Amino acid sequence: MAEDYIELNAFLKLKGFAGTGGQAKLIIRSGVVKVNGQVETRNKKKLISGDVVEYQENKFTVSLN
């Protein structure tokens, strides 16, 4: 069964922006990650398909298929 969501910290690790959960947490808490156009500082923010994550001039649309 496919997951209904992925946490923001896991998403950043999956995309290769962070090697560990701790690194992902520091990136997120620094206020440089946006979700759907809004700055997001919660590392456990649940992302669902269709959410747009922005980091370092990159935009990713979440797809959990």
Look at residue 34 in the predicted model and tell me its pLDDT. 98
The label of the residue with tokens 């398909």 reads: 49
**Spacing of C-alpha 50 from chain mean position:** 12
Q: 6-61: CATH homologous superfamily? A: RNA-binding S4 domain (3.10.290.10)
User: What digits encode the pLDDT tens for the residues 3-55?
Assistant: 799 999 999 999 999 999 999 999 999 999 999 999 999 999 999 999 999 99
Please state the domain extents for the chain: 6-61
